[in-house]
């Protein structure tokens, strides 16, 4: 009887181990074959309902400011439906001035939906201004600059070591993945880099290639360079199936969650909005979904092209119709695919 009991115990342990191994990873198929995602929940990824992903954000108070700027500040609070991220816009790393505009403190109150849902159709991201926020509370802009060509600031070497710079108001922002904020190691899958204004997370571009996640690979954008136009959007086109990701630069994992991936190539962060974005404007604190960005211009909250006064879409040669800077409450026309 003792031998039978021991045998049954061994069988039970083997079964439990097999069950754990099966649950420790999940797979999905992409354009490049099967990829695996850890089944362990990422505390920084949105889950359901009113869960507040405050753990995703950095503790900027640990940064020792040695330059003649204020210390960075950041706080995160959640209601049942919205996460509010307050920041003074000061980087938690050494500021290197790249543009003529010196760094200035801001008063940001970004609003992010807590329960993001994929919309029936994609919508454009703004041509100018913020489209998402990073885990240190600073904004992401799209993959283009303003005047004089609406070019790619990464390609044109207009960004610092963390892929950001200041705009005319002295507001620091990123145009591509801020590697200085994340541990850029291939072993870290789905590490949150920031959140889009539609609520979906932006993560590092790594996926597992085996069930045990003993090795990883980078996912790739499906936007391809098609010509040498100076304008970033004019020189690229979305080619379905040419990479791992959709036109918005994201995909749904086997866990059912949609994520954007901060890729090495255009559009770097977002190509469009997959969900319904809250309009945050230049300084955050925008109205809820479905309301105009400034209360009067008629600009949709989902990031689509404005129906009221705006900056106009640049012609194909990249020459802007005016100074290319967003006015108060406006963020310029939207870019990115829509059905």
Q: What is the pLDDT of residues 162-220, one digit of tens each?
A: 999 999 999 999 999 999 998 655 557 889 999 999 999 999 999 888 878 888 889 99
Angstrom distance (rounded) from CA 199 to CA 182 = 20
Does residue 148 fall inside a structural domain? yes
Does residue 8 fall inside a structural domain? no
Q: pTM of the predicted model, to two decimals?
A: 0.74
Q: How many domains does the chain have?
A: 1
Cβ-proximal residues to 76 (8 Å cutoff; 6+ apart), any chain: 52, 54, 57, 83, 84, 85, 86
Cα–chain-centroid distance for residue 64? 26
Q: Could you say which DSSP state residue 284 is in?
A: B
Name which of 252, 222, 246 is nearest 45 in CA terms. 252
Q: Which residue range forms the structural domain that includes residue 179?
A: 26-339
In tens, the pLDDT along 266-322 reads 999 999 999 999 988 776 654 433 333 322 223 333 333 333 323 333 333 333 333
Angstrom distance (rounded) from CA 322 to CA 127 = 14
Cβ-proximal residues to 19 (8 Å cutoff; 6+ apart), any chain: none
Does residue 64 fall inside a structural domain? yes
Average pLDDT over residues 315-334: 34
Does residue 6 fall inside a structural domain? no
Angstrom distance (rounded) from CA 38 to CA 191 = 12
Does residue 55 fall inside a structural domain? yes
């Amino acid at each position: 009887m003792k031998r039978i009991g021991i045998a049954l115990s061994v069988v039970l342990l083997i079964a439990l181990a097999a069950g754990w191994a099966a649950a420790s990873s999940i797979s999905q198929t992409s354009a490049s074959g099967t990829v695996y995602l850890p089944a362990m929940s990422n505390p920084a990824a949105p889950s359901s309902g009113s869960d507040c992903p405050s753990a995703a954000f950095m503790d900027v108070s640990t940064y020792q400011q040695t330059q003649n700027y204020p210390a960075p500040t950041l706080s995160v609070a959640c209601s049942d439906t919205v996460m509010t991220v307050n920041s003074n816009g000061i980087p938690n790393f050494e500021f290197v001035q790249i543009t003529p505009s010196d760094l200035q403190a801001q008063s940001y109150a970004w609003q992010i939906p807590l329960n993001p849902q994929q919309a029936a159709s994609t919508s454009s991201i703004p041509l100018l201004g913020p489209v998402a926020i990073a885990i240190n509370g600073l904004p992401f802009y799209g993959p283009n600059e303003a005047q004089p060509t609406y070019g790619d600031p990464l390609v044109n070497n207009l960004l610092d070591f963390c892929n950001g710079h200041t705009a005319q108001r002295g507001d620091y922002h990123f145009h591509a993945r801020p590697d200085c904020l994340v541990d850029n190691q291939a072993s870290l899958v789905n590490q949150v880099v920031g959140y889009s204004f539609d609520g979906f997370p932006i993560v590092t571009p790594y996926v597992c290639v085996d069930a045990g996640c003993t090795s990883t690979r980078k996912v790739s954008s499906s936007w391809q360079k098609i010509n040498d136009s100076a304008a970033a959007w004019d020189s690229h086109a979305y080619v379905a199936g040419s990479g791992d990701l959709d036109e918005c630069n994201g995909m749904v994992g086997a866990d059912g969650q949609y994520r954007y991936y901060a890729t090495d190539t255009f559009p770097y962060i977002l190509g469009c909005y997959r969900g319904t974005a809250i309009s945050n404007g230049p300084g955050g604190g925008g109205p809820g979904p479905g309301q105009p960005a400034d209360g009067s211009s008629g600009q949709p909250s989902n990031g689509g092209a404005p129906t009221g006064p705006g900056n106009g879409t640049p012609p194909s040669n990249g020459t802007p119709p005016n100074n290319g800077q967003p006015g108060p409450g406006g963020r310029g026309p939207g870019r990115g695919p829509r059905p």
